[in-house]
Homo-oligomer: A and B are copies of this chain.
Amino acid sequence: MYRSHTCGALRMQDVNQQVTLAGWVQTIRKFGAITFIDLRDRYGITQLLLGEELNSQLTDQPLGREYVLQATGKVTERSNKNSQIDTGDIEVAVTSFTILNKSAVPPFTIQDDTDGGDDIRMKYRFLDLRRNAVKKNLELRYAVNRSARNYLHQQGFMDIETPFLIKSTPEGARDFVVPSRMNAGQFYALPQSPQTFKQLLMVSGYDRYYQIVKCFRDEDLRADRQPEFTQIDCEMAFVEQEDILQMFEQLIKQIFKDVKQIDYSDLVERISWEEAMWTYGNDKPDIRFNMKLANYKFPLHTFPEKKETLSNSLLSSGATGFAVFDQAETIIGFAAAGCSEYTRKQIDELTEWVKRPQIGMQGMVYIKCNLDGTFKSSVDKFFGEESLQKIAAATGAQPGDLVLVLAGKEEKTRKAASELRLEMGKRLGLRKENEFKLLWVLDFPLFEYAEEENRWVARHHPFTAPKPDHIAVMIDNDPEIKDAAKYLEHPYAGIKANAYDMVLNGNEIGGGSIRIFQRPLQEKMFAALGMTEAEALHKFGFLLGAFEYGAPPHGGIAFGFDRLCSILGGSESIRDFIAFPKNNSGRDVMLDAPGTIDQHQLDELHIQLNKE
């Protein structure tokens, strides 16, 4: 062992002890004949004092930043204590040292606030990982990993490894594939998730399975997606939705406790998908703050259960005289608390914000709810005081609030309202980094309509079961959509899934479902997704086969481990929580991967490159 203690270990009680430390030179400060060195390792920083007697060695072997140093000496009390660090009461009076390795001058200094920019950081990731900021992220990641494993173990879950070289069954995202040398012309695929394997394990009787496992999706990388990512993947047999919700909200609460020392004793709220869309404009609402949406006008087929609301709305008639509202499919507003005194400039800036191409609205209507009870709006011409009062009241606005209203096509307007709500929440400081709010979103539609192909696609995945009440609707109806324009009237449009998403602070951190476990229903599902019988057998014959030999009812969930860590760590970027991430072109710039392979390798794999 090159050291007797780490650089984070020594305290006052160690004074007078003879110690040997090893680590990296963080800083060197010379005061006359005396040299101070801050020596750093994973555990902390200890100040070394090199006296006059080492001067000649220091001249022969000059030290530099990031040199690897081994130093022996006596622990002494510091005259000038540093209360910022745990070892700040002591220093080591060095009697001898050895340079274990030199270092070139690093391209950026190893400090919290200097990282040299993203490209340099990634190229020199091995140096970036030395920075305290990054180290803390990886430590948090390990703590989450450990906490999850402990909880799941206590609950009787077994970690069972599933294979990485599997069969390509693209459905949704693209597979990464691996040419087989021993089976010419054939390919393995890397798993997008262990979905079918964990279901097979349920069929095999391993009724509580988990894995923290890499998954692979060959998608065009939007910001903050990685081609390889990690899931906490879980499955249970003989359970209903309620069992899963309870088991896994407890998992996240345990992680809060172990990792963040937060005792999350609140009930985890639950909301239906429809209600989430209605109230927040999206299916992963941030409920750290209120600001609920008022739906003044909307296409009735989208929210059939809200008929009452529509008929009560002042703005739904299309005869207000304000063309923007009268021609809009959807009108949505909400109240920004305490913003009634926004200046013209502030309101103009907000209006520009919703007109940006990412949001794409034509404009924004505002109503100032003045403290004196009067109203001032951008549509005073069209609406009298009483109408303004009614419009504002629908949002729950109080005197002093500012009501913002958007109008246009349903999908775009709802999305814009959601985005504007989040933006106002941010500006008003309501999205607090250290507040954590969990939410279950339930009752998703089972199917989505794919316009280009005029067919159904699975909203979650093809193994998700419909609500028990809706199984008959699925079995008894032909999935074919005869009239594309009226797809919403097809019985399949109303089928709800036994699926659930867990949302944390406006991010989907996990999702899952109760699965289909009967062969006929699974076959119907494949047919509904436009697969022929032969295709279904070719791709998923093993699963259909397994369902014939006593498959139990089962369901599960998968958490996005990278995302969960980044939220717990208070960061927007999952890359900061991955030791060796890839960039947006899927490249590892440190390794310079992917790269070419030689002809011999290609030949052995029975493939050749396309000349283009």
Contact = CB atoms under 8 A, between A and B. Distances in A.
A439 to B, nearest CB: 23
Contacts of A595: 167-168, 186-187
Contacts of A13: none
B3 A238 contact: yes
A607 interface: yes
A22 B182 contact: no
A500 interface: no
B177 A550 contact: no
Contacts of A161: 214, 230, 578-579
Interface centre among A135, A167, A179 (most CB of B within 10 A): A179
A530 to B, nearest CB: 15
Interface stretch (A98-106, A387-395, A423-431): A98-106
A243 to B, nearest CB: 5
Given A24-B205, A153-B146, A165-B228, A101 B517 contact: yes
Contact of A103 (B1, B206, B549): B549
Interface stretch (A47-55, A137-145, A326-334, A351-359): A137-145
Interface string A147-173: 001000100001111111111101000
Given A163-B588, A592-B167, A1 B230 contact: no
Interface size class for chain A?
A: 35 or more
Contact of A178 (B100, B176, B203): B176
Interface string A105-137: 010000000000000000011110110000100
A580 B159 contact: no
A50 B183 CA distance: 52
Contacts of A3: 238
A207 B6 CA distance: 10
A66 B550 contact: yes
Interface in A179-201: 179-190, 197, 200-201
A100 B1 contact: no
A542 B591 contact: yes
Interface string A334-365: 00000000000000000000000000000000
Interface stretch (A73-81, A87-95, A566-574, A598-606): A598-606
Contacts of A228: 163-165
Contacts of A590: 542
Contacts of A66: 549-550
B130 A159 contact: no
Given A238-B22, A607-B607, A188 B594 contact: yes
A153 B125 CA distance: 25
B103 A550 contact: yes
B24 A587 contact: no
A398 to B, nearest CB: 45
Nearest to A157: B142
Contacts of A266: none
Nearest to A129: B204
A158 B200 CA distance: 32
Interface centre among A24, A124, A550 (most CB of B within 10 A): A550
A298 interface: no
Q: Could you say how many copies of this chain the assembly holds? A: 2
B1 A168 contact: no
A265 interface: no
A161 to B, nearest CB: 6
A62 to B, nearest CB: 15
Given A42-B207, A586-B182, A587-B183, A553 B100 contact: yes
Contacts of A588: 163, 165-167
A84 interface: no
Contacts of A129: 200-201, 204-206
A240 B3 CA distance: 11
Nearest to A214: B164
Contacts of A42: 205-207
Contacts of A179: 177, 179, 607
Interface in A536-552: 541-542, 546-552
Contacts of A414: none
B167 A142 contact: no
Contacts of A597: 168, 177, 187, 189
Given A101-B552, A142-B160, A177-B178, A238 B2 contact: yes
B183 A586 contact: yes
Interface of A: 1-3, 22, 24, 40-42, 66-68, 100-104, 106, 124-127, 129-130, 135, 138-139, 142, 145-146, 149, 153, 158-168, 170, 174-190, 197, 200-201, 203-207, 214, 216, 218, 220-221, 227-228, 230, 238-240, 243, 517-518, 541-542, 546-553, 578-580, 582, 585-588, 590-597, 601, 603-610, 612
Given A2-B238, A103-B548, A167-B593, 19 more contacts: A2-B553, A42-B205, A42-B206, A66-B550, A68-B550, A101-B518, A149-B149, A162-B580, A165-B593, A167-B588, A174-B601, A176-B188, A180-B594, A183-B594, A184-B610, A197-B579, A542-B590, A606-B610, A608-B609
Question: Nearest 3 pairs between A and B by C-beta?
Answer: A103-B550, A167-B593, A129-B204
30 contacts: A24-B550, A40-B205, A42-B206, A42-B207, A68-B550, A106-B549, A125-B200, A129-B200, A129-B205, A130-B205, A138-B206, A142-B160, A146-B153, A164-B164, A165-B586, A166-B591, A167-B588, A168-B601, A174-B181, A174-B604, A177-B597, A179-B607, A180-B594, A182-B221, A183-B585, A184-B612, A188-B594, A197-B580, A542-B592, A608-B609
